[in-house]
């Protein structure tokens, strides 16, 4: 679990240029981390690569916060 | 050569304008994935010619109106060449008739291939191009999409739709280094226009200031410009290549 969060955090820091301290499970990509819609699409793409999984468009739409992403990945691993 | 080391995918590249675009891309140094729907022999011929030019080519059968086959086509292209720099949405059909006589299925077929096909192919390549932080998408529209044309409601609606889709894709993808433009050919000599009766052709010539038909090469040269570095500050535009028909 911690490992997933760590890996997700690293991707978010790289992609969005935010501080690690800003990232927590409740943080919303758009509202708290300054991502636009396209950034979120790209984040999901990178998560797919990082965790070698396919995230369907329907599922991707439900991922709004760091916690959503971590929970989704854990549920598929 | 302006496109050395680039990889291009051209839909509907077995004949006509698509074939000429594929060959011109190769002459400029690009490797090309040649998509076709039905004319396998002619697609293979196009690929052979590309190889004679010293470039790599693969041939991919795919129906652009099916998301499954489009995704497979893009995967095969990236699998073969390792990347994808240029997408030419060229595949198109006509099923002309007056609105009063046009069958619903003729409307659907043309919209599905000529408009939905552009959406599906664009969607399928964006992932790769966004990762690369660069890409060129060039949609082949038509001048009738700008001016309307009696007897072609389905085709005109699709081609006008492509212009709107071009502008929207351009806005969505600009921040990732991807440009999207359209080319609107006028009256070009191809299998599609050869079928027109002589008197229709004569009538059309009267409306062309440059007083002659265009050739597939005229479109291909414009596509090369939009696919290369010379056009890097142009996106969301529709270039009319029509001898001045519409100004």
Q: What are the extents of the domains in chain A?
A: 1-76
Which residues from B are below 8 Å from A38, CB to CB?
130, 172, 175-176
Contact B129, B86 (CB under 8 A): no
CA distance A25 to chain B (A): 26
B233: annotated binding-site residue? no
For the entire predicted model, the pTM comes to 0.93
Contact B186, B96 (CB under 8 A): no
* Residue A2 predicted with pLDDT over 70: no
Q: Which residue of A has its CA nearest to B132?
A: A42
Which residues from A are below 8 Å from B175, CB to CB?
38
Distance CA A42, CA A63 (A): 12
Q: Which CATH number fits domain A1-76: 1.20.1630.10, 3.30.1490.20, 1.10.3720.10, 1.10.1200.10?
A: 1.10.1200.10
The whole-number pLDDT of residue B200 equals: 82
Give start and end residues of each alpha helix (H) in chain B. Answer: 16-27, 40-52, 67-81, 104-111, 117-132, 144-147, 153-173, 191-194, 198-205, 216-227
Structure confidence at residue A6 as a pLDDT band (50, 70, 90): very high
* Residue A1 predicted with pLDDT over 70: no
CA distance A54 to chain B (A): 13
How far, CA to CA in Å, does B172 sit from each of A21, B73, B90, B180? 30, 23, 21, 10
A38 vs B127: CB contact, 8 Å cut-off? no
The whole-number pLDDT of residue B190 equals: 83
Domains and CATH numbers, chain B: 7-188+215-241 (3.40.50.720)
Contact A57, A66 (CB under 8 A): no
A42 vs B172: CB contact, 8 Å cut-off? no
Regions in chain B scoring below 70 on pLDDT: none
Interface test with B, best of A35, A43, A44, A45 (most B CBs within 10 A): A45
């Amino acid at each position: 679990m911690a490992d997933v969060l760590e890996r997700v955090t690293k991707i978010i820091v790289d992609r969005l240029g935010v501080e690690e301290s800003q990232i927590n499970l409740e943080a919303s990509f758009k509202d708290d981390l300054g991502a636009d819609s396209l950034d979120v699409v790209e984040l999901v793409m990178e998560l797919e690569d990082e965790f070698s999984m396919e995230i369907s468009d329907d599922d991707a739409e439900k991922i709004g916060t760091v916690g959503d992403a971590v929970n989704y990945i854990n549920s598929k691993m | 050569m302006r496109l050395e080391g680039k990889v291009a995918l051209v839909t509907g590249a077995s004949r006509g304008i698509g074939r000429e675009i594929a060959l011109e891309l190769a002459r400029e140094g690009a490797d090309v994935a040649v998509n076709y729907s039905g004319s396998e022999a002619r697609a293979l011929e196009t690929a052979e010619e590309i190889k004679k030019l010293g470039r790599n080519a693969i041939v991919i059968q795919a129906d652009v109106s099916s998301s499954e086959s489009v995704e497979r086509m893009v995967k095969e292209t990236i699998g073969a060449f390792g990347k994808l720099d240029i997408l030419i949405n060229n595949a198109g059909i006509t099923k002309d008739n007056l609105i009063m006589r046009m069958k619903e299925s003729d409307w659907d077929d043309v919209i599905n291939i000529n408009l939905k096909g552009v959406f599906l192919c664009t969607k399928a390549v964006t992932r790769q191009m966004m990762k690369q932080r660069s890409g060129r998408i060039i949609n082949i529209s038509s001048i009738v999409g700008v001016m309307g044309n009696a007897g072609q409601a389905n085709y005109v609606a699709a081609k006008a739709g492509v212009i709107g889709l071009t502008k929207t894709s351009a806005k969505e993808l600009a921040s990732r280094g991807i440009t999207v433009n359209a080319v609107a050919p006028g009256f070009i000599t191809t299998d599609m226009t050869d079928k027109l009766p002589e008197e229709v052709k004569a009538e059309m010539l009267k409306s062309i200031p440059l007083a002659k038909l265009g050739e597939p090469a005229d479109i291909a040269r414009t596509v090369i410009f939009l696919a290369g570095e010379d056009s890097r500050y142009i996106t969301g535009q529709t270039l009319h290549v029509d001898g001045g028909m519409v100004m």
